[in-house]
């Protein structure tokens, strides 16, 4: 627990606008980072980030001060991302997006490596992706991810394993690492 977190939350609950601003400023980057990695789109990520803060402020009184604030916010963010993604999944995929999706038989240049990893992430199951992003992008520990996602550490490790395996397969299918022979 960070004492300043408690103080910040208390001031926010008291309705102090400066503290509310500080709250958003403090966490907006990391929350947006998670949302951006999860949704893959800036506009969606901004909307979800805004929703995260709205929910956070709404639920701030229920935050357990004995627990760190950031994972709690990440938990809300992960849930909001989940909601946004499920909402998006119910919408038809625009044809141009389908056309943009690279053919699996085409090797992607290394300059697009990061983009390919992000594309691979978007093919993952949502909870696997959440695990992956929380672990690698947010650098949360397995224990913290378990708390965020409400599941045991063993489950987190399993999901991480599967996420890594699927991303690695995705990369291999696109030619990454194929030139290196034993």
Partner 1 sequence: MDCHQFEEQLNDRLDRRLSPSSSALIEHTRNCPPCFQMLKGAIVLQKGIGIWRSQPLPVIDIVDRVLAQPVPNETDAYETDSASVYSATQSAPIDFSSIDNPGNGTGPTSCADFLICRAERSADENPERVRSRKALVGDVTLLVVRDGKRPVSAPRPATSRLNAGSASWLALFASLAGMWFVLARPAVHSVPLPGKSALNSGLIGSNAPDTASLATNSANNRLVQTDDRTHEKTGGPESVIEDVPQSPSDLAHMIASASGAYTRIAIETSAAADDFRLLLPTRLPFISTNSSDDVPNSTLPTGQNSRGMKQHESETEAIPLQDTMHEALEFFWKAVPGVPHAST
List interacting residues with partner 1 (CB under 8 A).
Answer: 13, 15, 17, 20-21, 24-25, 28-29, 32-33, 36, 42, 46, 49-50, 53-55, 57-59, 61-67, 72, 75-76, 79-80, 82-83, 113-114, 116-118, 127, 136-137, 142, 147, 150-152, 155, 157, 160-161, 164, 167-169, 171-172, 176-177, 180, 182
Place of tokens 């995705």: 170
Judged by beta carbon, residue 64 or residue 100, the one nearer partner 1 is 64
Judged by beta carbon, residue 102 or residue 150, the one nearer partner 1 is 150
Cβ 54 to partner 1 shortest distance, Å: 6
Helices H / strands E in the chain, number of each: 9, 0
Cβ 21 to partner 1 shortest distance, Å: 6
3 state SS of 66: coil
- CA–CA–CA angle 118, 119, 120 (5° rounding): 90
Interatomic CA distance for residues 167 and 2, integer angstroms: 35
Interatomic CA distance for residues 54 and 154, integer angstroms: 32
Judged by beta carbon, residue 18 or residue 95, the one nearer partner 1 is 18
Interatomic CA distance for residues 117 and 4, integer angstroms: 36
C-beta of residue 160 within 8 angstroms of C-beta of residue 142: yes
Judged by beta carbon, residue 100 or residue 181, the one nearer partner 1 is 181
Cβ 88 to partner 1 shortest distance, Å: 15
The encoded tokens of residue 121 equal 């992430």
Cβ 91 to partner 1 shortest distance, Å: 15
Cβ 13 to partner 1 shortest distance, Å: 8
């Amino acid at each position: 627990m960070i004492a300043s977190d408690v103080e910040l939350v208390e001031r926010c609950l008291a309705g102090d606008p400066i503290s509310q601003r500080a709250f958003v400023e403090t966490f907006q980057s990391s929350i947006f980072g998670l949302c951006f990695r999860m949704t893959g789109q800036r506009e969606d990520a901004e909307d979800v980030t805004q929703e995260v803060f709205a929910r956070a402020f709404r639920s701030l009184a229920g935050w357990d001060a004995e627990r760190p604030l950031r994972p709690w916010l990440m938990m809300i963010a992960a849930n909001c991302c989940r909601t946004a993604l499920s909402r998006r999944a119910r919408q038809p995929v625009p044809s141009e997006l389908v056309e943009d999706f690279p053919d699996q038989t085409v090797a992607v240049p290394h300059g697009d490596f990061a983009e390919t990893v992000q594309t691979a992430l978007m093919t993952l199951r949502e909870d696997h992706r959440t695990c992956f992003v929380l672990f690698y992008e947010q650098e949360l520990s397995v224990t913290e991810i378990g708390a965020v996602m409400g599941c045991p550490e063993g489950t987190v490790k399993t999901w991480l394993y599967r996420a890594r395996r699927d991303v690695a397969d995705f990369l291999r299918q696109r030619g990454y690492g194929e030139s290196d022979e034993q």
